Amino acid sequence: MKTRGFVVTMFAVALSFTAQFVDSSSAASGYSAQLISPTAGQVLYPGQQVRVEWEALFPKLGVPLSWCEMEVFLSLDGGRTFNMCISVSFDPKATFFYWTVPNTPTNTAVLDVRFGCEQFYPETPSVQSASSFVIGQSATQ
């Protein structure tokens, strides 16, 4: 009985010390992005060059953001799937890029502005479902 009590006590002490070393602030202040353009309901056309722009809030990582990356993905089905990466991997301090709209007509296009920092913060989506837009038919169709 004494051994079990000792083990339980040591386990409780170990857990109380590890809590000091775990940075729980990143869970409370995680990553999020807010799309500025394209705007909700906007109609884009294949071949059109569009400025994709957003604002982002980043977690407290303890490492420079330059060690991390961002990418933007496109969904053609209202945000159920994101099979098309429309950007290169770029520095998280970037807030826009120019995108040539593909010939993929849909009434429910949605962007996902993802952020990740290998070994420090997992790739995290920020799906912009409130900013659904339209990709219209090509003028040649």
Domain ranges of the chain: 25-135
Helix (H, G, I), strand (E, B) or coil at 81: coil
Q: What pLDDT band is residue 138 in, cutting at 50, 70 and 90?
A: confident
Helix (H, G, I), strand (E, B) or coil at 73: strand
Q: What per-residue confidence (pLDDT) applies to 4?
A: 57
**Fold adopted by 25-135:** Immunoglobulin-like (2.60.40)
Peptide bond into 46 cis (omega under 30): no
pLDDT tens sequence across 98-135: 999 999 999 999 999 999 998 889 999 999 999 999 99
How far apart are the C-alpha atoms of 42 and 134, rounded to whole Å? 6
Q: Is residue 12 over pLDDT 60?
A: no
Residue 95, classified by CB atoms within 10 Å of its CB into exposed (0-12), middle (13-18) or buried (19+), is middle
